[in-house]
Amino acid sequence: MSTVAEIIQARPTQPLFINGEWRLGSTGEVADNLNPATGAVCAVVAQASAEDVDAAIAAAHAARLPWRKLLVSEREAILLKAADIIAQRADELRDTLIEETGSTLLKAPWEVGYAVECLRSAAACVRQAHGETFPTCAPGQIGMTVRQPLGVIAGIAPFNSPLLLSMKKIAFALAAGNTFVLKPSEYAPLTGLKIAEVFEAAGLPSGVFNVVPGSAETVGKKLVEDPRVRMITFTGSERVGKLLAAEAGKHMKKVTLEMGGKSPLVVLDDADLDYAVDAAAFGIFYHQGQVCMASSRVIVEDGLFDAFCQAFTVKAKGVVVGDPHKPDTIVGPLIRPQQCVFIAEQIADAVSKGARLLCGGTYDGPYFQPTVLADVTPEMTIYHEESFGPVTSLYRARDFEHAVELANDTRYGLSSAIITNDLQKAMAFSELSNAGMIHINDATISDEPHIAFGGTGDSGFGREGGRASMEEMTEVKWVTIQAGKRAFPF
């Protein structure tokens, strides 16, 4: 019988994908990728050195002009083929997401389906890189703007929905005529490498897409500093996003930031209680709360508050926690057990300062019980900070105005939602909410590949999806044509 060390040694190292080639890192460094549910090593992954990242950037840089010049019909065909390949390999990609991110059977197939739709949406954008024409004040002059790709774009992706969030960046970047270097999360490198397999099978020319798993410091630093990289598209935490924005500023590099949130779901007195409870539960327990748009604050108007607390606690206690492979599991493992420790500390801080724990609050290994708090106040860390786990706080609002005030009492501004049949209040909420995305009679979690997604404040800036991505990932040039001679002043 083999020892664990022997099994790990026998497992082939997952390579990097640079310039259309699968290769080991130049230093031979590798890192273990762990299964969050079991803690077992699920892959050994080559780690890119600064030299490897340099090679990936060089490949993307060399490929950018031929890729840009490809006919739109050819770019479109490759994106559509990649979509078909993902659809054909859906089970394999689903299993990778379960294996390396602890995604449940509820979330993993949805994410794979999203990647297919994302590629199809991007393919639909290829022919839509419109410019404009303008009348000008110069006699005989025609003015126009044209959209051009930026060149090399680097994507830095988080662990929680690595296929969806990477693909949203890659698909539209390629659609707009850019080439790409992906730094996947250190917790989800396999998904990044699977994306490379898909594009390779779809016939994407060498160098157009490259994947460099590796340490945040080495890979991230090189991507931000290298002048050939024209834009960084980042999804991840507020801490890292702010660091990257500062670094990118030093290098005059365009950056878009999709960061964290403390998204409020507002429930008014007239809401259907069961519906509101379901929306809140989906909003906070889906993917064990590891969603940037998670409803980590539920603000309920006074008349419904007590009934909501009771019904929501019953719902939370009924949420099945456990093995992500089981079809009835709603809350699977958090990405690492340390995340449970971090959340338990937030809860302990809140309870020590007077918060009521309505249910949950405990964990076993990487499994955190669905947790509901009430009486949370601004003195408590959890009032302001993201938990990124299955934990929400219920707030009593005196009236609609107070609900809006509470909803906006955050430095974040990603998503918000309101449940009410009062159209006037729903529309007023959409106007007054600080968030970049407002959902009426729905949960705070919603994502469509063709609609502008993004936040305000410390949730970041820039938008992703459809036309918004095409605009972020291109630059506008003003071109004039002078018919006849212009009358110069001297």
Pick the closer one to ligand NAD by CB: 177 or 289: 289
Burial 413-436 (b: 16+ CB within 10 A, else e): bbbbbbbbeeeebbeebeebbbbb
Q: Which residue has the tokens 């659609």?
A: 175
Considering CB under 6 A, how many residues would be counted as binding ligand NAD?
28
Q: How far is the CB of 294 from ligand NAD (least distance, A)?
A: 8
- Strand pairing of 371-374 and 209-211? unpaired
CA-to-CA dists, residue 423 to 272, 415, 418, 429, 481, angstroms: 15, 19, 11, 10, 50
Nearer residue to ligand NAD within complex by CB, 222 or 396: 222
Site for ligand NAD in 371-410 (CB under 6 A): 386, 388
Dihedral (Cα; 63, 65, 70, 74), 10-degree rounding: 30
Residue 23: both structure tokens together? 């290769």
Least distance between ligand NAD and beta carbon 277 (Å): 24
Q: Where does this chain touch ligand NAD (CB under 6 A) — which range of 11-19, 255-263, 279-287, 345-353?
A: 255-263
Minimum CB separation from ligand NAD for residue 157, in Å? 6
Q: Using CB under 6 A, which residues numbered 283 to 342 contact ligand NAD?
A: 292
Piece of 101-109, 136-144, 213-221, 402-410 that binds ligand NAD (CB under 6 A): 213-221
- The stretch among 154-162, 356-364, 428-436, 473-481 that binds ligand NAD (CB under 6 A) is 154-162
193 binds ligand NAD (CB under 6 A): no
State the minimum distance, in angstroms, from the CB of residue 394 to ligand NAD: 21
DSSP 220: I
Beta strand pairing call for 456-457 and 356-359: unpaired
- Choose, by CB under 6 A, the member of 24, 243, 351, 451 that binds ligand NAD: 243
Nearer to ligand NAD, 26 or 237 (CB): 237
Residues 167 to 186 in contact with ligand NAD, rule: CB under 6 A: 183, 185-186
Task: Quote the CA–CA distance of 370 and 390 in Å, as a whole number.
Answer: 5
Q: Give residue number: closest CB to ligand NAD.
A: 220
Q: How many of the other CB atoms lie within 10 Å of CB of 469?
A: 29
- Residues taking part in catalysis: 258
Which lies closer to ligand NAD via its Cβ, residue 126 or residue 294?
294
Element (H, E) at 280: helix 273-285
Measure the CA–CA gap between 399 and 386, rounded to whole angstroms: 25
Spatial neighbors of 233 by CB under 8 A, at least 6 apart, are 153, 154, 155, 156, 169, 173, 255, 256, 462, 464, 472, 473
Tell me how far CA of residue 412 lies from CA of 158, 161, 281, 321, 439, in angstroms: 18, 20, 21, 29, 16
The residues in 53-112 that bind ligand NAD, with binding defined as CB under 6 A, are: none
Candidates 30-38, 47-55, 157-165, 396-404; binding stretch for ligand NAD (CB under 6 A): 157-165
- How wide is the angle at C-alpha 205 spanned by C-alphas 155 and 244, nearest 5°? 10
What is the DSSP-derived secondary structure letter of residue 410? S
Q: H helices of 70-205, where?
A: 72-88, 90-101, 107-125, 162-175, 189-201
Q: Does 259 bind ligand NAD (CB under 6 A)?
A: yes
Tell me the closest approach of the beta carbon of residue 447 to ligand NAD, in angstroms.
Answer: 8
Among 237, 381, 408, 430, binds ligand NAD (CB under 6 A): 237
Q: Per CB under 6 A, which of residues 427..456 are in contact with ligand NAD? A: 455
Closer by beta carbon to ligand NAD, 149 or else 455: 455
Task: Return the structure tokens found at 148.
Answer: 């051009």
Residue 81 vs 463, nearer CB to ligand NAD: 463
Q: Which is nearer to ligand NAD, 104 or 313 (CB)?
A: 104
Positions that interact with ligand NAD (CB under 6 A):
156-160, 165, 183, 185-186, 216-217, 220, 235-237, 240, 243-244, 258-261, 292, 386, 388, 414, 455, 459
